[in-house]
Amino acid sequence: MGAHTHEQGQHSHAHSHGHSHGHGGHTHDGIDWTQLLDNLRRDDAMAAVTNAEIARRLIALPNDGGDRPTVMDAGAGAGGQSAAFAKELAARGGGRLVIVDATPELLDVAKEAAERALDGSDSVTIETIQADAAAADLAEQLPAADLVWASRMVHHLPDQQAGTTGLAGVVRPGGWLALAEGGLPIRCLPWELGLGRPGLQDRLLAARDAGFAQMRADIEGSVPMPYGWNTALSRAGLTDVTSFSVLTDHPAPPTDDVRESVIAWLGFLRERAVDLDDTDKTTLDALLDPAAPTFLGHRDDIYMLGATTVFIGRR
């Protein structure tokens, strides 16, 4: 789970670098994505407003595809953005939503999330397709789409440029590829906590960054992409390349959901953070112990603040 300065997007949980094997699907990162379902769902809940804003902006992009656009969510996870797309498409007269993932269990979860968002409306058709986004023949496996969205997925592929180029090949001429990568990782703690060393938040993000680098290094056939995502989109042959960013802002004092999400994220980090020193580990334990007076559950100064950056390019 690396926070990061370049690749990972703002969500907090879903970057394990564990090495257990998934059930049906195979991803290149060795991550068991079904096991991370609760984390993905929690991320989606915290990002609901962000996802709605992204859907609004992306579906409003000029498009040659006519009134009922085809929108694809590649690497949909628990389906938070699929749900936002479904709702936005329904509000704009309908369309077709294609949910793609390498992990079959997640396809069902994402489809259910999108169906729930439709709330009985039948103006949007929803399909699911199991596919490996790194496949050389991706464009043959998937229908052409007016908008192809991939959030925090391409950085799990061995060759991120090849993955970007492959996704661009699924875009209908005149349509758009949108990648959520980079952005600002979620922050949730004040600088000074009254225990441990100040600045824990920054060291946690650094540890998450190191975990991310390790995840990339452990992918078989991993190749570096020593430039930014706008360049990746340009090299994929797209034009009108730009980006926009949307804040996720849950201010202090936290609601119960935000509090729970912060605690879950820090718990996840505590389990996996190899790069933290013992003082910081002790501090985290004190923050996460429900029986301790230092428990985060008693604090009103925790929050969630991050930004999702969406890089777009037109075919």
Give the residues lining the site for ligand SAM (CB under 6 A).
11, 14, 27-28, 33, 40, 43, 75-77, 80, 101-103, 106, 132-134, 151-153, 156-157
CB of 132 to ligand SAM, least distance (A): 5
Residue count (the chain): 315
- With CB atoms as reference, the residue minimizing the distance to ligand SAM is 77
The H-or-E segment that residue 314 falls in is: strand 304-314
How far is C-alpha 215 from the chain's CA centre? 15
Based on CB atoms, which residue is closest to ligand SAM, 145 or 288? 145
CB of 247 to ligand SAM, least distance (A): 16
Q: Which is nearer to ligand SAM, 47 or 207 (CB)?
A: 47
Q: What 3-state DSSP class applies to 303?
A: coil
* C-alpha to C-alpha distances, 11 to 18, 48, 130, 153, 172, nearest whole angstrom: 17, 12, 24, 12, 29
* CB neighbour class for 242 (10 Å; exposed up to 12, middle 13-18, buried from 19): exposed
Q: Output the DSSP codes for 192-261.
A: --SSS-TTHHHHHHHHHHHHHHHHHHHSTT-----S-HHHHHHHTT-EEEEEEEEEEEEPSSPPHHHHHH
DSSP state, residue 293? T
Smallest distance, Å, CB 82 to ligand SAM?
A: 9
Nearer to ligand SAM, 131 or 284 (CB): 131
Question: Taking a C-beta distance cutoff of 8 angstroms, is the pair 39, 13 a contact?
Answer: yes
Instruction: Determine contact, residues 184/304, Cβ cutoff 8 Å.
Output: no
Query: With respect to ligand SAM, which residue has the nearer C-beta, 163 or 196?
Result: 163
Distance CA 239, CA 224 (A): 23
Nearer to ligand SAM, 13 or 299 (CB): 13
Q: What minimum distance in Å lies between the beta carbon of 285 and ligand SAM?
A: 27
- Measured from the CB atom, the residue of 124 and 133 that comes closer to ligand SAM is 133
CA 213 – CA 199 distance, rounded (Å) = 22
Tokens 């000074």, located at residue: 192
Nearer to ligand SAM, 42 or 314 (CB): 42
Query: Angle at the Cα of 236 (from 226 to 50), degrees rounded to 5?
Result: 80
Q: Please say which residue, 70 or 82, places its beta carbon nearer to ligand SAM.
A: 82
In the bound complex, what is the minimum distance in angstroms from residue 189's beta carbon to ligand SAM? 22
Residue from 22, 85, 98 nearest 53 by CA: 85
